[in-house]
Amino acid sequence: MSEGKTMSQTDAEKKRKFRSAKRMREIMTEYYIDAKTAGQSGKKVAWITSGGPVEPLIAMDVIPVYPENYGAMIGASHMGGDLCAKAEALGYSTDLCSYARADIACALENGGPIGGLPRPDMLVCCNNICGTVLKWYEIQARLFNVPLFIFDTPFCHVDFADEARRYVRSQLDEYIAFLEGVCKTKFDYDRAMEVGRLSLKGQRLWQDVLDAAAHRPSPMTAFDAFFFLALIVTLRGTQKVVDFYTELLQEMKDRVEQGISAVENERYRLLWDNLPVWYRLKWLSDTFASHGACLVADTYTTAWCGSMKYIDENNFIESMAEAYTRIYLNIGVDEMVKTIFEMIDKYEVDGLVMHSNRSCKPYSFGQYDIMRMVQEKKGIPCMMLESHMVDERSFSESQASTRIDAFMEIVRQRGSRTGTAL
């Protein structure tokens, strides 16, 4: 038993832990083992970007591997600083995305927490998340000398133009032709439709899981969401993912029923913007919790169920064009803020925590404007934390701590949205 805690306190802690976490780890372990032994099983491996169209890969029995997901693991294992430094020694600027720097170094030495990613047979790069992935995947294409497919999704500042729709739709056909060429098998459109249905089902379940946090008190925090996100990103379109999130959703419902609060004495509800600070999840979670604050939602994990409104279940392939182009990061700042306003209302948010992520310009430039719009329209306080998401050398705990304390002071003064001042 930990010192200074009562029996009921540690029981409460145990209750707050998620059962599903164990199953999640099992699935992710199996997944990485499959990927690393693909050579023996005769399956092909594709490296794909986190916003890339994975469903055709699943339909072709290609194992999708996500350097960005591995980047998160590298960050969480505190291996990012070392790998980023190695990339810098190779000539890569310290200002570049830390996912990219870490992966570039990692690929050359089979680094990171699982001894490197399996060699890709092909690279699939979709620039809906940023322009950095284009450069990153060009680098890996040169290194591995394997075919590279680029899925170019034009930026939608204010709308999704007809010419963009035509262009992206053509590229879906080109993508399928590319896969047929690399795999030397025919694309099974029926199978793809089934994968599409499972993908949509998975996305709906993920949305339902995130919705559970609307409950007061919330049964989960954004930090839990960051952990449970991995499956909908990596294996979207599989039955395994549908089964897992069905289980997780049930656990959320159970927790709500049992009144399990992710944060003991939840008083304040906050919204997180941008990617996580991967190497400080526990510290951030504990720090906010110590103020009675629960990060009930975030704009990052929502991105993997945000395109559902564009998907036509009976015409998955066609509707992929719009679904993959109109994601959260590929739209104008004034469009993004609409989603933030909705989330503030839905989750009854008292304050906005923005991660000014040096590793992600598309996500970070515009935050000041969003902050002002939120303050004006919703009247809630906002704060900023700065870092490189995977390079722990960039983080100042004392600065972050000071800012969080100051921010929470303001949040406390304004009181929570139910009007109960404390």
Partner 1 sequence: MEILNEFIEVAANPAAYAAKIKASGRPVIGYYCSYTPEEIIHAAGMHPMRLFGSKGDTGIADRHLQAYCCSLVRGALAESLSGGLDYLSGTVFPHTCDSIQRLSDIWRLNTSHGFFADVVLPVKLNTESARRYMADVLDKFRKELESYFHLTISDEDLNASIRTYNAIRGSLKEIWELKSHNPGLLSGSDLSSIVRASMVMDREALKDDLRSLLEELGEGKPSGEAKGKRLMLVGNVCDHPDVYTLIERSGGQVVWDDLCTGSRYFEGMMEEGSDPISSIADRLFERQVCPAKHKSPTARGEHITAKAREHGVQGVVFLYLKFCDPHSFDYPYLREYLEKAGISSMLLEIEDRLPPEGQLLTRIETFTHML
Binder of partner 1 out of 28, 167, 193, 312 (CB under 8 A):
167
CB of 144 to partner 1, least distance (A): 10
- Closer Cβ to partner 1, 378 or 388, answer by number: 388
Is the distance from CB of 259 to CB of 184 less than 8 angstroms?
Answer: no
Distance CA 79, CA 75 (A): 6
Residue 163 interacting with partner 1 (CB under 8 A): yes
Alpha-carbon gap, residue 99 to 94, rounded angstroms? 12
Report the distance separating Cα 273 and Cα 325, nearest Å.
20
The minimum distance between CB 336 and partner 1, in angstroms, equals: 9
Sheet holding 63-65, edge to edge: 63-65, 45-48, 122-126, 148-151
Q: Is 364 in the site for partner 1 (CB under 8 A)?
A: yes
Distance CA 305, CA 202 (A): 9
| Backbone angle region of 109, left / alpha / beta, with phi > 0 → left and psi within -120 to 50 → alpha | alpha
Shortest distance (Å) from residue 129 CB to partner 1: 10
If the CB atoms of residues 32 and 178 are measured against partner 1, the closer one turns out to be 178
Selection from 329, 317, 305 nearest residue 55 by Cα: 317
Distances (CA, A) of 228 to 13, 77, 373, 414: 19, 17, 30, 32
With binding defined as CB under 8 A, does residue 19 bind partner 1? no
* Interaxial angle between packed helices 316-325 and 189-211, expressed in degrees from 0 to 180 and rounded to the nearest 10: 50
- In this structure, the chain runs to a length of 422
Of 146 and 193, nearer to partner 1 (C-beta) is: 146
The verdict on 171 binding partner 1 (CB under 8 A) reads yes
Tell me: does residue 85 bind partner 1 (CB under 8 A): no
Helices 98-109 & 80-89, crossing angle to 10 degrees? 80
Pairing label, strands 293-298, 268-273: parallel
- Which residues are CB-contacts of 385 (< 8 A; sequence separation ≥ 6)? 277, 353, 354, 355, 356, 400, 403, 404
Q: Judged by CB under 8 A, does residue 116 bind partner 1?
A: no
Residue 416 has which token pair? 């929570």
Q: Binding residue for partner 1 (CB under 8 A) from 33, 90, 406, 410? A: 90
Residue bearing tokens 């049930």: 250
**Closer residue to partner 1 (CB): 11 or 174:** 174
Classified as helix, coil or strand, 37 is coil
Residues 377-396 close enough to bind partner 1 by CB under 8 A: 386
Which positions from 305 to 344 touch partner 1 by CB under 8 A, shown as an x/- string?
---------------------------xxx----------
Shortest Cβ 295–partner 1 spacing (Å) = 22
Q: Pick one of 82, 92, 253, 283: the residue that binds partner 1 (CB under 8 A).
A: 92
Angle (CA) 336-338-342 rounded to 5° is 120
Region from 153-161, 210-218, 221-229, 414-422 binding partner 1, contact rule CB under 8 A: 153-161
Binding segment toward partner 1, per CB under 8 A, in 109-117, 145-153, 206-214, 397-405: 145-153
When asked if residue 415 is in the footprint of partner 1 (CB under 8 A), the reply is no
Part of the chain binding partner 1 (CB under 8 A), chosen from 94-102, 260-268, 296-304, 410-418: 94-102
Closest approach, Cβ 372 to partner 1, in A, equals 8
Number of residues engaging partner 1 in binding (CB under 8 A)? 47
The DSSP bridge pattern shows strands 122-126 and 45-48 to be parallel
Q: How far is the CB of 246 from partner 1 (least distance, A)?
A: 37
Interface positions with partner 1 (CB under 8 A): 90-93, 95-97, 100, 127, 130-132, 134-136, 138-139, 141-142, 148, 150, 152, 154-155, 157, 161, 163-164, 166-167, 170-171, 174, 332-334, 356, 358, 361-362, 364-369, 386
